[in-house]
Structure 1
Amino acid sequence: MHATPDETPDRPTGDDHATTSRLPRRAFLGGVGVAVMGVATAGGAGAFQRTSPPSTGMSGAAIPAADMDPLDLLQRMLSFDTQNSGQGGKTRPHAEMLKAVWERAGVPAEIIDTPQPDNVHLIARIPGTGDAEPLLILGHSDVVPVERENWDVDPFAGEVVDGEIYGRGALDMKGANSAMISALLRHLDEGAQFDRDIIVLTDCDEEAGSYGSGWLAENHWDKIDAGSVLTEGGWFLAQSDKTTPMLITATRQDNVYFNLDISATGTATHSSKPMPDDSAIVTLSRALATLGEWEAEVRLTDVTREYFEALGKATSDRRLAAAIRLMLKARSQRSLERAAALVVKHSDYPYLHRALLRTTHAFVIQEAGYKENVIPSEATTRVNCRGIPGGEKPREFLAEVRRLLKGKDVEVTLVGNEGESEEEALARLDETWATPPADLDTDLWRALSSASEATYEDTLFAPALFEAGTSLGPWREKGVPGYGVYPYVLSNEQLIGMHGNNERIFVEALKQGADFMYEVFGAMRV
């Protein structure tokens, strides 16, 4: 069926979706759950409503309202299963849908095939006047796998429940992609022209795989060469009511990613005659229990210190503010550790703030055994670690873990690249650790700051460290400034859903985040 400008194009069958009333751009999100309880089902028209007669996109045709509605666009994105279990995902159908969105707006878009079938990148380019260097919007299309049995809803249906939209990728990062793309389309619908080319890259293999942004940069740098990059990252945090904006952040630096393997050996024998004192699994478990109860020491850097200073000013919780003041004034490691523990205790986002204070370690994969009547001779656990640039070096953390587990009869191995020695891997990590944060004296940073002021009135805006990682590596290596935002206010429960079960965001937060992105791009209009 041919879609009229106000119909929802390219939506898979069974596409009835919930729409909600629209909050003014400057409105806070307080009471968002109540505001969206009266959800109505609309089969085709998006929630975005024009307040003036439609203009035309670059093609001369009106852009469908559904494409400019971040909820409608996100629901279409979520309907595509782009799970990446470690070897890339099937992203072509998702890319073809988005390519059609861009083409309806008259924006040239190109699918870039990788050597892996159906695992593709999508690049759209909005031509500008060339007065400024291109801006690249970097969003990934692949998502981590789901445990379907642990979800309350279909993770690929984009269902709205009590004012929250559920789905794998709703937060990370199809929600951000939707907010950014729909905001750009609104500008194009108004006939806008920008002072620079805006390149929108929807990449693959961000979660894992061989053909991500590094492969793309090596093979197609001319298509993604830019003067600045905006991707996933900074969190929009709420006060204790979980909805009122408290602190808007954009990240200027990513944590350092590395893995350790903890392994143990024992005697392989028949399971009918266990040897508790010579069991690889038992030995490994005892060592992991020790490591699980341990935390690396707190290390504050200029970036994290500035973030916590802003958090202390932004929070309405006096206990948290007092704990942050104590932490920032600490003169000894002991007092720093005690104050940091109070910060985590009083924070509404304890796991996030714990991760911004120290190198973290998480037990992620365990391997042992192959048959139920055989006691295995080996057992290994993969430990994923994230180090703070300018804080504790990965080599220092590795030495601490080895010291902690000395005498536990386990081996601690740094996982390097293929053919890389441990010292070569540590030297590589040292270089990443020393990468400076992105410069804040850029027009993109100023656009982010002014957009926060316009959209989240009286809410503090601050730079931050991203506790995770992004696809920014190829641009950072060339000295291109890159920043990150997830442009929607989140509760701690929603934050936990990232890479977890029942991943979701507030519908109204998504819409307000799209307004934020509209303001960011508005700073680049001529």
Structure 2
Amino acid sequence: MTSQPIAPRPSTPPTTPTAEQEVVGICRDLLRIDTSNYGNGEGPGERRAAELVAGLLTDVGLEVELFESEPGRTSVVTRLEGTDPTRPALVLHGHTDVVPAAAADWSVDPFGGEEIDGLLWGRGAVDMKDMDAMILSVVRQMVREGRRPARDVVVAFFADEEAGGVRGAQWAVRHRPELFEGATEAISEVGGFSVEVGGRRAYLLQTAEKGLAWLRLVADGRAGHGSQVNAENAVTELAAAVARIGRHPWPYTLTPTVERLLRGVSDLTGLPFDGEDPAAVDALVAALGPAAKFVGATVRHTSNPTQLDAGYKANVIPGRAEATVDVRLLPGHEEEGMATLRELAGPAVRIEPIHQDTALEVPFSGDLVDSMVASLLAEDPGAAVLPYTLSGGTDNKSLSRLGITGYGFAPLRLPADLDFSGMFHGVDERVPTESLRFGTRVLDRLLNDC
């Protein structure tokens, strides 16, 4: 582990670009750094991205700390002094790593950072170098103009979020908790983006996220010749368990956040709300358009088999077979979900955790929520703002271990026909450049008021 403070550079002249003017360029520069995280402990490019981030912050006179959990797994933190030192601090955070991209599947170079027809393309354009760029451009503008946020703001850019944050936010929370001293709330990714509901623009503010459980299923059997009768075939036992888990019809379970979202959709569309009727729930979810896939995964647990591993030769029955399952559990229902998984696996298959993390659910109320809503509506009067649950996870899970309440708020006003949520970890990620500029305006308002 290494840690090194970086001294601030002299402040730049007042004629430098505004946040709106430079956010696209910053995002483009980040997209052109391949920070693919393969989940194997390596983070190529994270160091380069961290150095770019640190340079942009020190360029305006901020003192920055750049630290590593392991060589190359680099995170960056700085702190802005607020106007009211009596108030608890806010953590404004992003991550610089991205999931891998197969270039052959893309219409453009996934690490080219190309701007085409008002859209910026590249792996990370929606997850989450867009928000990283908005944070950087707004912070730079505030410092250049001599403005301070309403309270202390810890600005952090973590490594390794796409592999659960073990070498990023989790490591920082365990080994450098003093960096977040006095912080009680946090803002990060996957919230604050717009969808069209009932002919009206609505922004989905993330107030909950499902729990994460990457699980290994293991079946031990009796190895033998492939031509023999074998009642203890590990592959057979494993295959049956995988099929049961993958096909299990998890019942609909509406958490408080999901229920409030669907009631809001009902108000906007006139569709009836009945939490006991799956068809009524499905109709309300479908009314969210491109975001329906995101939200549809939050009305119940999900369990998707993702990997299989068994055997080494066609005529040899292996003594062991393994599979990996990606399980996402609803807040408040994790234990019952795990109990069901053990039952589905059966007595011949054991479950081993690979990586697990907590589910989160926080109030859609309070001063910070009021400020986020007001900042959005100031830039888009007449819109609605609704809470929602994220089917994936964020580094807010790690910060919650310090008692920090986290929200997803990367504000973007999007075209109604853009399948924004479908591009997370997908092909041809892209974000409208005007959406980035909108986000800087909203974020700037928020930091002045939060």
Regarding TM over 0.5, the answer is yes
Return the alpha-carbon distance in structure 2 between the equivalents of residues 288 and 162 of structure 1: 44
CA RMSD of aligned residues (A): 3.1
Residue number in structure 2 paired with 1:138: 93
Given that 2:411 and 2:442 are in contact with CA atoms closer than 8 Å, whether structure 1 keeps it comes out as yes
* 1:127 equivalenced with 2:81 (yes/no): yes
Residue number in structure 2 paired with 1:222: 178
Q: Deviations over 1:2-58 (max 9, x none)?
A: xxxxxxxxxxxxxxxxxxxxxxxxxxxxxxxxxxxxxxxxxxxxxxxxxxxxxxx98
Return the alpha-carbon distance in structure 1 between the equivalents of residues 108 and 236 of structure 2: 38
Name the CA shift for 1:462/1:326 in 2 (closer, same or farther; >3 Å). Answer: closer
3-state SS in 1 of match to 2:400: helix
Return the alpha-carbon distance in structure 2 between the equivalents of residues 345 and 184 of structure 1: 37
Return the alpha-carbon distance in structure 2 between the equivalents of residues 134 and 345 of structure 1: 38
Return the alpha-carbon distance in structure 2 between the equivalents of residues 167 and 274 of structure 1: 52
Residue number in structure 2 paired with 1:411: 349
Name the CA shift for 1:277/1:249 in 2 (closer, same or farther; >3 Å). Answer: same
Return the alpha-carbon distance in structure 2 between the equivalents of residues 177 and 137 of structure 1: 10
Residue number in structure 1 paired with 2:327: 385
Match of 2:337 among 372, 390, 397: 397
Name the CA shift for 1:142/1:267 in 2 (closer, same or farther; >3 Å). Answer: same
Aligned partner of 2:389: which letter?
L
Q: Deviations over 1:304-353 (max 9, x none)?
A: 21111222334xxx5xx52xx2334x3xxxxx333233344554233212
Residue number in structure 2 paired with 1:365: 307
Residue number in structure 1 paired with 2:297: 355
Residue number in structure 2 paired with 1:59: 11
Return the alpha-carbon distance in structure 1 between the equivalents of residues 363 and 93 of structure 2: 16
Return the alpha-carbon distance in structure 2 between the equivalents of residues 290 and 472 of structure 1: 32
| 211-220 vs 59-68, which moves further | 59-68
Give runs of aligned pairs for residues 331-346 of structure 1, distance below 5 A. Answer: 336-345=277-286
Give, in angstroms, the shift of residue 285 of structure 1: 3.6
* 1:74 equivalenced with 2:27 (yes/no): yes
Residue number in structure 1 paired with 2:208: 253
Match of 2:252 among 285, 292, 298: 298
Given that 2:241 and 2:349 are in contact with CA atoms closer than 8 Å, whether structure 1 keeps it comes out as no
Give runs of aligned pairs for residues 170-319 of structure 1, distance below 5 A. Answer: 170-208=125-163, 210-225=166-181, 226-239=183-196, 246-265=201-220, 268-269=223-224, 273=227, 280-314=234-268, 318=269
Aligned partner of 1:75: which letter?
R
TM-score of the pair, normalised by structure 1: 0.74
Residue number in structure 2 paired with 1:476: 400
Residue number in structure 2 paired with 1:3: none
Aligned partner of 1:76: which letter?
D
Give, in angstroms, the shift of residue 78 of structure 1: 0.8
How many residues are paired up? Answer: 433
* 1:155 equivalenced with 2:110 (yes/no): yes
Return the alpha-carbon distance in structure 2 between the equivalents of residues 492 and 294 of structure 1: 31
Give, in angstroms, the shift of residue 174 of structure 1: 0.8
Residue number in structure 1 paired with 2:273: 326
Residue number in structure 1 paired with 2:366: 441
* 1:454 equivalenced with 2:378 (yes/no): yes
Give, in angstroms, the shift of residue 387 of structure 1: 1.3
Return the alpha-carbon distance in structure 2 between the equivalents of residues 313 and 439 of structure 1: 17
Aligned partner of 1:395: which letter?
E
Given that 2:27 and 2:133 are in contact with CA atoms closer than 8 Å, whether structure 1 keeps it comes out as yes
Return the alpha-carbon distance in structure 1 between the equivalents of residues 83 and 68 of structure 2: 29
Return the alpha-carbon distance in structure 1 between the equivalents of residues 101 and 189 of structure 2: 20
Structure 2 gaps of 5+ residues are 1-8
TM-score of the pair, normalised by structure 2: 0.85
Aligned partner of 2:302: which letter?
T
Name the CA shift for 1:436/1:173 in 2 (closer, same or farther; >3 Å). Answer: closer
| Identity level (%) | 25
Residue number in structure 2 paired with 1:503: 429
Match of 2:124 among 153, 169, 186: 169
Structure 1 gaps of 5+ residues are 1-56, 331-335, 418-424
Return the alpha-carbon distance in structure 2 between the equivalents of residues 62 and 98 of structure 1: 21
**Which structure has the greater CA radius of gyration?**
1
Given that 1:487 and 1:513 are in contact with CA atoms closer than 8 Å, whether structure 2 keeps it comes out as yes
Give, in angstroms, the shift of residue 103 of structure 1: 1.9
Return the alpha-carbon distance in structure 2 between the equivalents of residues 416 and 465 of structure 1: 24
Return the alpha-carbon distance in structure 2 between the equivalents of residues 198 and 345 of structure 1: 38
